[in-house]
Amino acid sequence: MNWLTSIFGTKQEKEPIDPMKKYLIACLGNIGAEYVNTRHNIGFKVADHIAKQEGASFETVKLGTLAEVKIKGKTVFLLKPNTYMNLSGKAIKFWLDKENIPLENLLVVTDDLNIPFGTIRIKGKGSDGGHNGLKNTQQVLNTGDYARFRFGISDDFKKGRQVDYVLGEWDEEEKAKLPERLDMAAEAVKSFVLSGLANTMSSYNGK
């Protein structure tokens, strides 16, 4: 090591990122071509929309695909787990631990039958609400104290047809409205990163 290297370090060295400036946006869905345009996969759609806006691409990684974006000095990891919905927590915990991301900087994006189509509801903690992805995440993290972003898909189905509805594709009216709703969802996610949970809930809940 020469005197220049000893003073300035090598070019390969990278400054470690402050964990408080790192965020994991875990967007839930099911892998496979048959699920791409289903209501249950709105989490993946939100992740794809943000990545496209930010000019980022997804890479296949352990337990999912991941895109890294920078938003005003914050490092944001967009995760699409490949574990299928029922084991989402495994991928979420792995990437929280690997990137040393604090639990308060986690946002889990899911669909929700109990909310009108396209409506946003963000909470800092709560129950799984019967959602298998949230249920597994709570089991694996051993807490329900993490932020979750629910995207309404409504409950416009006949009795006994819930599974078909959730795993069904958007109707034509929903497809027409989806781009604007995805824009709003992306805004809300970025607000979580830049303005915090409380401000984001106040600004976007019910929109």
Residues annotated as catalytic are 40
Q: What's the Cα-to-Cα distance from 66 to each of 24, 44, 103, 148, 162, rounded to whole Å?
A: 10, 11, 18, 19, 30
Exposure on the CB side of residue 31, measured as CA atoms within 13 A? 12
The tokens describing 51, both together, are 């990545």
> Dihedral of CA 116/124/130/40: which sign?
positive
**Beta carbons of 153 and 42 less than 8 angstroms apart:** yes
Q: Token digits for 137? A: 């995440």
**What letter does residue 169 receive in the DSSP assignment?**
B
> For residue 203, which of 146, 127, 148, 121 has the smallest C-alpha distance?
121
Could you tell me where the DSSP H helices lie in the chain? 3-8, 42-53, 88-98, 132-141, 162-166, 172-195, 197-204
**β-bridge partners, 74:** 71
* Residue labelled with tokens 């990137």: 99
